[in-house]
Structure 1
Amino acid sequence: MTGAGTAASAAPARATHSTLKPGIKKDLFGSLEDGTKVWRYTITNRSIRVRIITYGGIVQTIEVPDARGRMGNVALGFAGLGDYVAKNNPGPYFGALIGRYANRIAKGRFTLDGVTYQLPINNDPNSLHGGTNGFDTKVWTATPGSDHGDPSLRLDYTSPDKEMGYPGNLHATATYTITKDSIRIDYRATTDKKTIVNLTNHSYFNLAGEGTGTIYDHVLQLNAHRYTPVDSTLIPTGQLAPVAGTPLDFTKPTPIGDRIRDGHQQLVFGRGYDHNWIVDGSGLRQAARVSEPTSGRVLTMSSDQPGIQFYSGNFLDGTLYGTGGHQYRQGDGFALETQHFPDSPNHGNFPSTVLSPGQTYRTTTVYTFSAR
């Protein structure tokens, strides 16, 4: 594969939000070995600049102002296409669209209407994030547009019947809309055969700035009084357990690093936080809020999904280098993946992820950035 020259690999330039000019720009990010071109879209709107590539629908960078108005990239990612392609199976999934099924399915197996389907095992002994070639590895078709004057980018991908073992031809879309202070992702999917679907975005954040160190001093609040405990392979046990009295209680603002090494069995299993929280309430509501004390940046996440996976970057091991040339080590970024629960098809007490012909899968997640 080839790169697209210095424009594709350069780190974002330092700017202030007052210098941003709303609009959408397109440039060639690189080509795959079969010659397929991968494009990058830079979407700008008043105080946010986002770069999205058509490979995996990946959010490469997110630039937002700090408390002094200085722009900085707060998303982890790679500078060139080669790293995104090479780090698969499973990779860090930096910024990628995840499907058909976000998170884990036990032993890669589920049953629909008496038929058992086998998925690839890529997180032994389970299937993770859609399998060995999930939606994060696909080149999506991009259509720039606008929504009430805000720039947007619609990405489309059709997953054929039996791809990665999943039944049905599934047509999925993810539309990124950049407003004054937010990134909204609207997901849609339809199928011609009963199937399961659970889509999300796997962006990693560091509100102090990409490559600046750990996120352990970030202060997290989750609108969730329960979570789904996991076994040693990170598959839910089926319990819906209270967070009260555990280090998984983020109902009040708490630094991420305060209890991450306290020896609790769940944190031992995940090498830190890598769990699904059951978001209180229903409809589009606030699921999480994260603040960073030095920059003053604040991220608020809203979603209509029943769950949110908080992952504290436990498997970053120093072997990856990001857009700014910095080494990524354990805890250098966090992910908040809005979702249905892991392994839902194998737990009758979890919200259903079944999609049937004639139905439309619809879900929305909003990332809102501010500074204080």
Structure 2
Amino acid sequence: MMKKYTIENNYIKLVTIDYGAAIHQLITKDKNGNDVNVVISFEDLESYKHNPTYLGASVGRFAGRINKDGYTINGKHYSVYTKNDVHLHGGKEGFSFKTWKMESISEGENPSIKFSYSSNDMEEGYPGNLQVSVTYTIVENQLSIVFDATTDQDTIVNLTNHNYYNLSGEGSILDHELLINAESILTKDSDAIPTGKYTSVANTYFDFREKREIGSTYEFKGIDDTYVLKENNPLATIYSKKTGIEMVVTSNQPGVVIYTPETMDENKISNKPLGKYPSICFETEKFSDGPNQKDFPSTLLKKGDIYKNETYLTFNIK
């Protein structure tokens, strides 16, 4: 049975579940002192088991895409499960569809919760027994999401959290003001696999180097792209005038996948009403198909080394 855990302080309340080590709710105060759940949430916890959009989940062993031909480590080729010619978010049943172990939970001024998962050698086509954990910690008005992993064989790892944010708690994100510290996005083919090249954001609706409303300036057609980060601190800020909530995103990762679905199934969602483009994802990670692109940041985790993905969300009222 799925288990729910809550940690909170005076600024933030975080509700997590052990299935997918997922974030169910992330609640902070708006400019009027009212609680706002700033992530899209399923009403029924059972919906997280049938979660094709990876709502709130921890994604692995490899977040993003790998091409249908698989990849090679140390001269050995590995095949992977593909659907529509791509291997997505760790395969047929990646980490988002596993029950993680709740390792520890603490209350007090800086509450935290840690989940762990053991991924066996060759699970979903990945070599090595991988020990992975995610720790959520609240310090004042900041939530940190930290993934750690170790392996007993050389393998590839790319982990991320897949929250869908709406700082108004409902409606659309088209009126949110967004800044992204990136001058380019990854060029991709018809299967959304990176080609190894980069595309400038200049003179496109992907350009958020200056803060602006998401739906302004250009005809917005949605984003599902990897931004190549110029600055990690912050990599992005997003602000809702309606609630006065600003979220500042920082990370140690080289890229962030920005994803803005045009619609979501409101029947299963507690955030109502939802408008067109109801949410935005900030998937901090290394690049899709990294194992096959020699010029991309390495996604190889060697035996004995430690993988770490640190992301920080700071909430301010403006």
* TM-score between the two structures when normalised by the length of structure 2: 0.95
Specify the SS of the correspondent of 2:194: coil
Are residues 319 and 71 of structure 1, via their aligned partners in 2, closer, same or farther at CA, if it must alter by over 3 Å? closer
2:124 matches 1:164:
yes
Query: What's the C-alpha RMSD, in Å, of the aligned pairs?
Result: 1.8
Specify the SS of the correspondent of 1:56: coil
Work out which of the residue numbers 44, 49, 60 in structure 2 matches 1:99.
60
Identity of aligned residues (%): 36
Q: How does 1:273-288 map to 2 (within 5 A)?
A: 273-281=223-231, 285-288=233-236
Specify the SS of the correspondent of 1:248: coil
Deviations 1:59-114 (A, max 9, x none): 00111111111111111121223211123xxx111110000011111116111122
- Give 1:323 deviation, angstroms: 2.4
Gaps of 5+ in 1: 1-30, 32-37
Alpha-carbon distance in 2 for matches of 1:329, 1:127:
30
8 Å CA contact 1:108–1:120 kept in 2: the answer is: no
2:305 matches 1:345:
no
Specify the SS of the correspondent of 2:32: coil
Work out which of the residue numbers 322, 325, 330 in structure 1 matches 2:269.
322
Alignment-derived partner of residue 145 in structure 2: 185
Specify the SS of the correspondent of 1:294: coil
Alpha-carbon distance in 2 for matches of 1:108, 1:150:
45
- Give 1:261 deviation, angstroms: 3.6
Specify the SS of the correspondent of 2:68: helix
Specify the SS of the correspondent of 1:143: strand
Q: How does 1:299-314 map to 2 (within 5 A)?
A: 299-314=247-262
Gaps of 5+ in 2: none
Specify the SS of the correspondent of 1:257: coil
Alignment-derived partner of residue 79 in structure 2: 118
Alpha-carbon distance in 1 for matches of 2:242, 2:274:
20
Specify the SS of the correspondent of 2:234: strand
2:253 matches 1:253:
no
Bigger relative contact order (CA 8 A; separation at least 6): 2
Alignment-derived partner of residue 48 in structure 1: 12
Are residues 259 and 57 of structure 1, via their aligned partners in 2, closer, same or farther at CA, if it must alter by over 3 Å? farther
Matched residue type, 2:74: D
Alignment-derived partner of residue 367 in structure 1: 313
8 Å CA contact 2:204–2:218 kept in 1: the answer is: no
Q: Number of aligned pairs?
A: 318
Alpha-carbon distance in 1 for matches of 2:24, 2:207:
31
* TM-score between the two structures when normalised by the length of structure 1: 0.82
